[in-house]
């Protein structure tokens, strides 16, 4: 068994979180930006991800959107225990 970890794409919170704000956005619900989705789409074509059978993601919107962009036809198992703490 091989485990591959992928971080969610750029989120709306990431975009506004400039160093001077230092905002912690761990469990704040926000969408992935169009740029974040574009980068996730690039990952979809990687050979390393072709044999993935199941994807685990937190239940937050940004992780669901990223997982669906990378694995549109795969099972995505959502689990809130995978949220940042």
Q: How many CB atoms lie within 10 A of CB 8?
A: 21
CA distance 36 to 18: 17
Taking alpha carbons only, the member of 59, 57, 9, 16 closest to residue 33 is 9
| Feature table: binding site for substrate | 7-14, 25-26, 62
| Feature table: binding site | 7-14, 25-26, 62
CA distance 18 to 81: 27
Tokens, residue 83: 């949220």
């Amino acid at each position: 068994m091989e485990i591959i970890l992928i971080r969610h794409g750029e989120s709306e919170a990431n975009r506004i979180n400039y160093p001077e704000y230092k905002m912690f956005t761990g469990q704040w619900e926000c969408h992935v930006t169009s740029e974040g989705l574009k980068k996730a789409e690039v990952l979809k074509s990687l050979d390393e991800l072709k044999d993935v059978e199941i994807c685990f993601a937190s239940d937050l919107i940004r992780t669901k959107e990223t997982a669906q962009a990378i694995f549109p036809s795969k099972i995505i198992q959502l689990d809130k225990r995978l949220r940042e703490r």
